[in-house]
Structure 1
Amino acid sequence: MGALSHVRVLDLSRVLAGPWAGQILADLGADVIKVERPGKGDDTRAWGPPFLKDAGGSDTSEAAYYLSANRNKQSVTIDFTRPEGQQLVRELVAQSDIVIENFKVGGLAAYGLDYAALKAINPRLIYCSITGFGQTGPYATRAGYDFMIQGLGGLMSLTGRSEAEEGAGPVKVGVALTDILTGLYSAVAVLAALAHRDLQGVGQHIDMALLDVQVACLANQAMNYLTTGTAPRRLGNAHPNIVPYQDFPTADGDFILTVGNDNQFRRFAAVAGQPQWADDLRFATNAARVANRALLIPLIRQATVFKTTAQWVEVLEQAGVPCGPINDLAQVFADPQVLARELAISLPHALAGCVPQVASPLRLSETPVEYRRAPPLLGEHTEEVLARLLGLSTAQVAQLHATGVV
């Protein structure tokens, strides 16, 4: 039994932030019902190529993007722009603990599916709204997408090559990081609301905004600005507060060196054949190294090119100096630690026989994650869920299909 096996989630969200939160809850055992538009479903089902391939090597209808965020869910198609569909959703809400939605502010009120309306049906309901800018403020009605928020929220001012380097300029993170982080924060908020409900017996509305999350996750860089009044600048792969903490060239590529304290720097200097660096007042302390990074970094780069990446990793690991390679995804999933942790899994799938998945990083000793279902086909569980929860007969569901309600 999963930690949340007593909880039911009605997931009205699509794309990434909301579905990611729903998948986390589903992995923890929650009964997650994904409500989608008949005939089309979540936008990401069509966000390919690549698409999942069947046994014969042909593309299926399932985009890899969709498959990343919808494991352990059931798919039910309901057209809630129609009164009959709205009634079905309300009846499902009456038997649910959590609703996740990412419509524009006020978008669900037109259908009687906003928090105020659904709270009247189920006072214990936890209703999580995810938008670009939140329910209040001058931008509240704007649509918000990850890439745009990475720029507006400051992340791209910190990501990319230094202005002094060729190819300088803002760069987004290679995955939709703001969406992912918003999904994580949303799951945390839902769990907090569940804990509060256990004590007080009432649900609540959760207002999550991509911009809020992006600004909150600027972390030390936000504090670097707030404590000095000076906006941090792009440093490429370098760290604003620690030196050396970046990539360096090797005889066959590049590797990452992450020296976190002065003792580690002393050990690195010895391995690099330059023990005098550790006693040089310009480099002996981290503060000195930060101040003199323009002098030190070229010296390190001259030293690192004489060993391969594998050789540096081996000798520095033996010396207790943190470092590592820069892997592509083929190398990631072939890495012995990734293999040992079983981070690549496979689940049975109706169209492809099986579907690859990335395992949940949540490792609970008493209530481990269970992989119960592959990401569902569109409407795969409509009849089953409506029969199980609402008591509808096969004939009733068939009539709803015939009229386009489900």
Structure 2
Amino acid sequence: MLTVRESGDAGAAPDRERLGVAFRVLLVLRGLVLAMTVMLVPDDWRDASLMLAVAAVGAGTAVACLAWRGVPSLLLRHPTLWCLDALLMCPVLVSGGALGPYFLVTVLTSAIAGVLYEWRAVLVICAAQTALFFAAAAGGDGQEAAARTPALIGLPAFYPLAACAGVALRRFLDDYADLEERHRHAAAALSAAEERARLAREMHDSLAKTLQGISMSAEALPIWVRRSPEQAEADARAVVAGLKVAARQARALLSDLRDDVYQQPLDGALAAVVAEWSARTGIAAVTRLPGGPDETAAVRYEIISIVREALANVERHADARHVLVVRDTAASTLLVRDDGRGFVPPEGDRLDLLARDGHYGLIGMRERAHRIGGRLTVDATPGQGTTVTLQMPPTDHRPAPSPPPRAAPSASPGAVR
């Protein structure tokens, strides 16, 4: 019984796709060889039986080539059908001569069998072709056949040789599929490791710092209870406010685990983030996103997080009516501008000084920019709004991501800016 090569469930669809492509390429090659043979041997046009046989082979090749996605599956389920292809070649050999130029057309049947089937099936098909070859030779000119006996003995060897070529091609396809599968597993493992590292970094940069501030305030409560009840009450409220911030940050981390916006192209993700924020807050927002080149997953994540934090600052502090988000791919910049109340930035653009008051929003944004080789600047004027600008180096000049700079520990769990 003929046997068929079976692929595993993993990657079976892509494997069948590659198999179909190889099948189609060999069919196209057979059609080209057939057409070239017809054109190079014009005298054969006088033989009606030969041209009828050639037309039948050409039509069968064309139909199989057009239906290349479905025919291999049919042949894999019913391998004996491919023996009919060898039988279809027999009239060509009989009319054109077993030693004629049409012999090369029949060889590709064995090559295709080598791609589709295991050795036992291939040997059966090669044996059938060899038998049909000798049958065609026996039906030809006896004197010519006797004069060319060495050729009659040697030519059938092309069938197993072509089958070996087909087997080699299939083995190459199998090796490529195995390599691609291992690459997918390695990429999945790397992605999981990167996700764990990202979550650890997010917890350190946000939740851990907030909890540290809550802890420091809670430790001071017994002292203030004895010395200053008013200060103790203020610190207790600060602890409650800090716990709310920590809860919000924890929910944000859990939300990130389920949020697929980070998997979208950058411009589409930014548009979705801004639109959702505008609908939730009621603050009008305009985006100018040109749809330029996308970023890597790590860079895309940090940029989206920077924009989200900038919008969160606008919601909590700015009292703005309009927000503008612009990405300039030519200049590699991204800015978030609001028309709110603004504020007085620290001298010398020292955003780390904001840590003294427990404000870590802008500091975290700058750390994110630093991680991806960018630079974040804040331009603000009281009463005239705030502009946050992320400047990225050109793609081919970006350094490897470096660890974020450490900020001073929080003295209180206050809100962030």
> TM above 0.5, one fold?
no
* Structure with the largest fraction of strand: 1
Q: Which has the higher helix share?
A: 2
Where relative contact order (Cα < 8 A, 6+ residues apart) is larger, the structure is: 1
TM-score bin, normalised by smaller chain: under 0.3
Indicate the structure (1 or 2) with the bigger Cα radius of gyration: 2
